[in-house]
A and B are shown apart, each in its own frame.
Chain A
């Protein structure tokens, strides 16, 4: 059971009848009667460790605070750095007495192999807590005040059947303590560190087989390695060699952590002693750094790919994280070896090599051409296969400063697969245009064609890379827009089977790509992105043709269709505009006329995803061009508005929600037509407003109701014709339905609508940005109380007060904000009528208190503005807002609660298991 949970069925282990008080949330009055700690004397007993550690001379300072703690070792718990620490929400930055009291028992539990921890997230939280404490104060002091901690660590040294989790935890905890140099020295004196991290510790034992122990060992050292003393320690205990071997660990986590630790140690050792930075001559580097670099060199020379990969990964991290001058020396020293890798066939560890080269290229100190980096990159580009070279090419093109020649080469590599596609499908040679120059490499054709998987993978990656590149300012210039458009269109045609290539390669490509949904999706996305640029008119015509083909095709999968809709919208957006007119150009209108019958059919699709995408597309289009004559005329001539209205009754809730949004948009633009529907022949069609209100009050699913609330809010904002007629009736009706909704998002959206109404009634709130151009504030000409009359009439306050005590926090927060806004209004205007002491106020306050207590049955009745103002004034809204801002488990999230939780969990573990059966 994790800390902070509130299950009432936990029992304390020592409560004989199991009916004792709950453990967390309050201090435990009596010490726990835990008898399982084998060597657990009372923590205050001085000198017990010396008995345990057989003659080890513990310094006398163990039981007393050191006379002169190092400056800065004890820091105020309120330091900002600590306050922002990674305390995982555990608020206390110092060890409070209650926790100190619980700690010995907990340590005893941890050290007892018979009481296994069921949930190691507790250990993680505990460790986080210790990190927070040690970041805020002295570790040494902590250990001295809580000897049970050292006792726990010492306990780990004994040969026994300890849980690997606890052992791992202890190693990490030791590292956390030893991160401070004085504490490190203290633990060193007791030889605890060499015994834990050296050969004598778990390293040589059976526990080492558990990956979690190896990981704990690495993380412990990672925390510990913060100061020069730690470097000596690492050298003395031979840890670096162990880390080398752990780089190839069977557990990926351990292997990766080992690599990172090496990087950390290298960085630490290169920071140099206090007397100055280390020499920039590689030969003068500290022994530890020399050793690590030597190991990397050896690995790079190795024939085994895993070793090369490890070395490259270490270097990638190094150059990625550290930009000190010595990294340049390191690169100069290692770059010949890295270049040597390129001479092997095939190039080993190509992915890691690419990562390294990009990491080096991005490093500020190294990216100049003097390091020979550009040459290496150019050589790599030409040596790697198109699949491997793609990411490198993209990385190069993203670099801010690199030679034009290299950029051109990288771009050519990136374009190669598409150039191949164009060449394979070209009716006449040379038709692929700018991309032509990039072809000529048979390797690409070979990579493209051997299998469907390879071909699809390469093409998808290429399209994704180009899509990433397109919006960047440093994208290659000139950008080959037309050939790329051609390539995207050709790919889509190949996937659809509508291309008719004449070459064998083209036919083969067609057979590979036919019906491939992945390529279709990637190509449609790419095509959509390309809409940002312009293309030759004949190509744009082809784009629209291929999009229409996809939208029409019965074989387009729902996801492909959605992408086709998205791409179509983007292309329609980018279609050339007539100056001074926002309407679609004649060509786009022509396209639209062909598109609408397709959309019509899609809205009748048996597949709900298709109906949904169709409606979303319609909503987008209407939102953008709903006011334009050409669009309106075409849309109204189609069946689409009628179908949309029918889809409000779709059996699928997502579709109903999209239909609600579409209807809202159509209605806003006056595009809803109301002929008699086949379902109600002769009957009068309901207005969109009553349709949506019906959905809001009766729909069994949340999505359509939420969508209806969004539409209503938007209508109110836009002063929709149906709303303007009688706004108060509209708002009152909507709020009444929304207040009874079980979905919190609907209620929250109700508050949004209330806020819009409030703003419209009382005027906009002041803009928070002093430089913003604020619209002229429509200040109420009348006194505030009078201005509040409409709000009272629509029962907005009853809705807001009810929401204030909503069981869902976001609703309560939103309501709180709304009322605070209103109170701010109040403060800014004079309110002559005070009704502070009227009996109405008292009864309202009493009702609100009952509401807060959970009894919301009683309505507030008709409220007078004065009463509202008085109630608002008297409420502690700021306090409520503060309370609501706290996370729901803030009460439970204390270190003390964590400790109690852990103790309780361990104690009742057996009982729980029994209960399960």
Chain B
């Protein structure tokens, strides 16, 4: 069993598991932090961004000034943003049989894999994962395609040139593999390869393994996966949450008794408690708005935004914010808000019960109805006429490199009355803000990551007791900035195996058993013999048929009849070469009696030596050794076959045959 690690990002995993002749890709995450090296794509022409000076080398050489721009001491690539793909060279991805998707954030690299690697398999995901994943991809494509950029920088990626660049460009890894965003056509094609599954549904893969999605409690339709054969069980935990938010709670019980547990997607901000962060979010939002400022919340169009809107729904009246407009701007805003209301079966119990009342499960429906929350596909059109300040705007993209958020950053960045509140944990907020410096607006960092923290993981592992844990290397040591925090790492016994990008792990796990069926007629013919109370043995002579990873013992063919008049025999008449069966032996040899028997048969000068494993009977005259051990007996005599056969027969007298 091997694990090919194609992504080094612990929360955007992409691993391939080779297990029992199947090749399973676990998630398909796309690392978008590479976009932080690029200049933002402004929706409206930004004089500030277009007038940034080009970057030149220390010696004054300015050959890169078209590609690289300098802003407040940072250098950015002036080009269409590019993403860091999972490894494609480590394993031939056309051999991947299936891709299992855990949640909509972990499928963003799917078009790159399904459309460009010769992949011919099937992708499995739950319905909300597919629908919301489609929205995320659609939004991404839309954000990038609607601001066409003629220029595509590639010179800087040259290894010799990259070395000369300042950090962080100098340290960017795998830049040659960075790719531009996919197209909507590729998205549609990739999504068409997905087969929908429901929680606890068992899917057979070639008869060899069975895969099952389980609720992971992190997002709508998010799953962990069980991959099991008859005697082995691998659990894949990715992006799970034990908090009571909107999704169905995590199914922990089904993870018990795993041989291997692959653990990814833990919280990215283990020191921030989501509850506290929501409180901070609300307090800062209220403070800003009360002072007449605007609040900008860069966010994804689905996920935490539902919880934030729910908190605000409860909070705005108490904070006296009833008259403040909330705007949600995204090409998929409408679909996201509506989808969330229709996936009732994927919601937590409380929300499910609302559906039967019938009421919308999420209170944002009421916010929309009362005009407190308004949503627009873009800041062009209706929004510009409805827009009034102070207000709160939720919009993407959290990297601040593309999407409507770029415009708001340009618009509001100059006033210290306004605040940008970062809630998505995927991007370093300082790096995200770098191309907007100098910035007067207040910045608040309230990362809300509901995924498992280390305390919860520790409890989970104690409860489900896997034999081996495999996780990204980042989880096996405290974060570099807090090296004393021994609590911020996975602590389990035996220690977790760690992986990093482009590494292949041989999982410490050997296949020991295989389930084999016996045909009924063959079973009928068995004659068990009780050798110990409760243990019976029977010899089986059969032919093992293996097809589609299923093994069946069939009765052996009858001895071949004389072919008679037939001249030719058909290929199917070929039978395996059946040798005469030797009897099986069992029992043990009592040394004293054996020696007496030898003496009776004329052997003298017998010497017995005790060894660690048994005895050696030495026939000194005959220069022969009989080595008797628990599970074997050897007769060692030089070139005297007669003697050996005599001795063998004497040994056999003490054993049972069947």
Contacts and interface: CB of A to CB of B under 8 A. Distances in A.
A678 B290 contact: yes
A43 B282 CA distance: 79
Contact of A554 (B277, B287, B290, B323): B277
B486 A510 contact: yes
B558 interface: no
B420 interface: no
A639 B283 CA distance: 13
A768 to B, nearest CB: 47
Contacts of B289: 678
Contacts of B390: 678
A678 B417 CA distance: 14
A605 B283 CA distance: 5
A750 B467 CA distance: 72
B282 A606 contact: yes
B317 A605 contact: no
Interface in A650-687: 650-652, 678-679
Interface stretch (A318-326, A495-503, A734-742): A495-503
A606 B314 contact: yes
Interface stretch (A280-288, A596-604, A846-854): A596-604
B294 to A, nearest CB: 13
Interface stretch (B268-276, B369-377, B628-636): B268-276
B514 interface: no
A602 B284 CA distance: 9
A650 B318 contact: yes
A643 B487 contact: no
B606 interface: no
Contact of A606 (B279, B292, B323): B279
A507 B319 CA distance: 41
Contact of B315 (A501, A506, A508, A606): A606
B616 interface: no
**In which size bucket is the chain A interface?**
20 to 34
Contact of B272 (A554, A607, A651, A679): A554
Nearest to B317: A651
B484 A606 contact: no
A651 B318 contact: yes
Given A553-B276, A606-B278, A651-B317, A643 B486 contact: no
Given A497-B271, A511-B486, A554-B279, A604 B286 contact: yes
A488 B606 CA distance: 82
A651 B446 CA distance: 25
Interface string A815-856: 000000000000000000000000000000000000000000
Contacts of B283: 601-602, 604-606
Interface residues of B, number: 32
Contacts of A554: 272-273, 276-277, 279-280, 446
A401 interface: no
A649 interface: yes
Interface string B306-322: 00000100110111100
Given A606-B283, A606-B314, A501 B484 contact: yes
A144 interface: no
B287 A514 contact: no
Contact of A511 (B279, B320, B323, B487): B487
Contacts, number: 81
Q: From DSSP, what is the main secondary structure of chain A's interface residues?
A: loop
A428 to B, nearest CB: 16
Nearest to A602: B283
Contacts of B482: 497, 500
Contact of B273 (A555, A602, A646, A651): A555
A679 B487 contact: no
B179 interface: no
A632 interface: no
Interface in A471-523: 497, 500-502, 506-508, 510-511, 514-515
B284 A601 contact: yes
Interface in B381-432: 390
B354 interface: no
Contact of B282 (A600, A604, A649, A678): A604
A498 to B, nearest CB: 10
Contacts of A195: none
B273 A642 contact: no
B484 A500 contact: yes
A643 B283 CA distance: 12
B485 interface: yes
A867 B184 CA distance: 93
Interface in B450-495: 482, 484-487
A889 B1 CA distance: 83
A649 B317 CA distance: 10
B158 interface: no
Contacts of A514: 487
A605 B487 contact: no
A870 B489 CA distance: 84
Contacts of A506: 484
Ranked 10 nearest A-B pairs via Cβ: A554-B276, A604-B286, A511-B487, A604-B283, A555-B276, A554-B280, A606-B282, A601-B283, A500-B484, A651-B318
Given A515-B273, A605-B279, A639-B287, 6 more contacts: A554-B272, A601-B284, A605-B283, A606-B311, A608-B318, A642-B290
